[in-house]
Amino acid sequence: MGGRTPDLADPESLRVLIRLLRTHLGPYKKPIALLVLLQLLQTSTTLYLPTLNADIIDQGVANGDTGYILTHGGIMIAVSLVQVFCNIGAVFFGARTAAALGRDVRAGVFARVQSFSAREVGQFGAPSLITRTTNDVQQVQMLVLMAFTLMVSAPIMCVGGIIMALGQDVPLSGVLLAVVPVLGIAVSLIVRRMRPLFRTMQTRLDTVNRVLREQITGNRVIRAFVRDEYEQERFRGANTELTDVSLATGRLMALMFPTVMTVVNLSSVAVVWFGAHRIDSGGMQIGQLTAFLAYLMQIVMAVMMATFMFMMVPRAEVCAERIEEVLGTDTSVVAPKSPVTELRRHGHLEVRGADFTYPGAEASVLRGVDLVARPGEITAIIGSTGSGKSTLLGLVPRLMDATDGQVLVDGEDVRTLDPVLLAKTVSLVPQKPYLFSGTVATNLRYGNPDASDEELWHALEVAQAKEFVSALEGGLDAPIAQGGTNVSGGQRQRLAIARTLVQRPEIYLFDDSFSALDYATDAALRSALTRETAEATVVIVAQRVSTIRDADRIVVLDEGRVVGAGRHHELMADNETYREIVLSQLTEAEAA
């Protein structure tokens, strides 16, 4: 999701950033108001100090008045203490508010991503969503922190410094008429070129994230095919592209500070040169020149602080656009406004004329699919790879919604059901089971937090996982790594099945959930499941014929259409597609 490349003169990016900040900073108006007040006080005291210093030089040092020096020196110390405390308070409230903003935006992005269906997740891509939730939010948070600690005081310092400098000597202030516009033009020209580079940087950061994620996840495949050098080269390419754009951005940043300092130093020389002539002619005093130089440096420091901000704004604008893309994307799976919270029947599943098409796809994955699954029966779905089996199961728990037709649970369209009710009624064991970091017990209780240890052990026994869990150090408290990478594929499948059994739904959906099991374990598990789910509705997707041949009803899918339905012997007799699948795995005698 690179988004559009904006015209640099187009303020749309800035408007997006301002809208994001206005929305999420709204709850923090009081601390922001206090912060601005503290910054105002701190800047005012900073502006007052050079005038006090000038008075001490001109009235105290020049006249040898020690009392005047001590009195005004004490005032300077008091003003400095006020400045320090105001600055500490402003930084404290600024840091807290910026951290709160980052927390709220991350929570908002996370909540929106959690509401996405598989369609929206695929549209953005997991690596990009991770980058947007972490790095992009961090860039906006850093901008806000810098704004609260620098940008609030910068304009006050700049305007106040000009006014105070005019109060010291009006003719000498003509130097400011040249310095400030030159600084502004130089900074704006450099920042203008940085915005597209920052956009490219974030996109290439997505690419590095994606490549790294693929290589970590697919480490075993890379090792198996000895593709280490190829993957290193692929990462090197993505890393080099990010480095190149980072270097280009760094060159512009490196150019900015020498430019600003050159203007500053030339202006200081000009002030001293013309100031010396003013002192020589009696137009101003030495203390006034000292104060004027101090105000010039304060003005320049204000411009430098603004420069820091201008360096961060383009990247923050790009990041805000990317964040808003996520926040502005509505899920295709929308919760009903008046949901059904109670079902009359229990476990009856029906699919009527369901179609499904992925965004941008030329052909539908499912076309006019009809299916009925009843309580107390096992309904199996079989078909060649790419026939739409997993997509069909995904429509039931609303991982995505059918683009046409209906999916009914107990006579109610799943789009009208309360999501909590649907989750309790339907449970899916996906084709690639995922376990979360934690323990065996925390994973099993994922769908039923109140389940007892006895219920967990019973579910493990049915899922043929009790033996290997008992052998683990800690048993139910044995640690599980992220994704379940510290257990085998078959063990992950059995733990995922046990997790579903602990939930005890009314409709069980098994999406090729027995593929990693050996034949003996598969047979024992199916036998135990038949007894455990005798009163529930069970739908099984499988590639292995032996897993589904005894099902009460077998539905045959081919290229997204139902081409047959019945029991094993019926389909063997009159369905050519089913016969081809069976005979590719079994002999004629075994099939009979």
- CA distances to 64, 160, 238, 334 from 41, in Å: 32, 12, 49, 50
**Pairing, β 366-373 against β 349-356:** antiparallel
Q: Output DSSP code: residue 133.
A: I
CA distance 498 to 226: 36
Question: Is 227 strand, coil or helix?
Answer: coil
pTM over 0.85: no
Q: Say if CB 123 and CB 1 are below 8 A apart.
A: yes
Tell me what pLDDT residue 4 has: 42
**Per-residue model confidence (pLDDT) at position 498:** 92
**592 residues of the chain, pLDDT tens digit each:** 444 433 433 467 778 888 898 889 989 989 999 988 998 888 888 887 877 777 777 777 767 777 778 887 888 888 889 888 988 998 899 899 999 999 999 999 998 988 887 778 877 888 888 888 988 899 899 889 888 877 777 777 777 777 777 777 677 767 777 777 777 777 777 777 777 787 788 788 888 888 887 887 777 788 777 788 888 898 899 899 989 988 988 888 788 778 877 877 787 787 777 777 777 676 667 777 777 777 777 777 777 777 767 777 877 888 888 899 899 888 878 878 888 888 877 788 999 999 988 777 778 889 999 999 999 889 999 988 888 888 899 899 988 888 889 999 988 899 999 888 888 899 998 888 888 889 999 999 988 888 899 999 999 999 999 988 998 888 899 999 888 888 888 889 899 999 999 988 999 999 888 877 888 888 888 889 888 888 899 999 988 787 888 888 999 998 889 898 889 888 888 888 888 888 887 666 666 6
The tokens 């009790």 sit on which residue? Answer: 466
DSSP state of 331: P
Q: What pLDDT shows up at residue 9? A: 38
- Give 354's strand partners: 369
The residues near 159 (Cβ < 8 Å, ≥ 6 apart) are none
Quick one: pLDDT at residue 110? 92
User: Which SS3 state, helix, strand or coil, does residue 534 take?
Assistant: coil
Percent helix, strand and coil across the chain, each to the nearest 5: 65, 10, 25
> Which candidate, 316, 326, 322, 325, places its Cα nearest to that of 142?
316
Separation of first and last alpha carbons in the chain: 53
Tell me which amino acid residue 148 is. Answer: F
Q: φ and ψ at 71, to 5 degrees?
A: -60, -50
Q: Are 402 and 560 in contact (CB under 8 A)?
A: no
563: three-class secondary structure by DSSP: strand
SS3 55: helix
- With beta carbons less than 8 A apart as the criterion, state whether 515 and 543 touch: yes
CA distance 554 to 577: 12
Strand partners, 480: 438
Pair of tokens at residue 113 = 């991503």
Q: In terms of Cα–Cα distance, which of 15, 16, 18, 21 is closest to 104?
A: 21
Q: Report helix, strand or coil for 283.
A: coil
| Dihedral, 210, 212, 216, 220 alpha carbons, nearest 10 | 90
Give the pLDDT score at 62.
67
Q: Which residues sit opposite 553 in a β-bridge?
A: 379
